[in-house]
Amino acid sequence: PWAEKNGTVTNSERRISRQRAFRPLSGDARPDWWIISETAKRMGFTQAFDYTHPAQIFSE
């Protein structure tokens, strides 16, 4: 759910807004960036997706 997500959102006018979670992740839930990075690593793209924090992704 969006209530658990930190990050940025780009609207249809190409404006970027900061989104801050207002509740912790539920149970075994993981952030979207982590799921994508783990999937890529398991597919063999370890160097390209060696992120430990979302700020690393944003800085690219």
Instruction: Look at the block and give the residue holding tokens 């609207």.
Output: 11
In the chain, the percentage of residues whose pLDDT exceeds 70 is 98
Domain count, the chain: 1
DSSP state of 16: E
Q: Domain limits at 8?
A: 2-59
16 and 9 in contact (C-beta within 8 Å)? yes
What does the pLDDT look like over 1-49, one tens digit per residue?
678 988 888 999 999 998 899 999 899 999 999 999 999 999 999 999 9
Whole-number Å distance between alpha carbons of 11 and 23? 23
Query: Nearest-CA neighbor of 19 among 37, 1, 36?
Result: 1
Whole-number Å distance between alpha carbons of 5 and 46? 24
- The verdict on pTM exceeding 0.85 is no
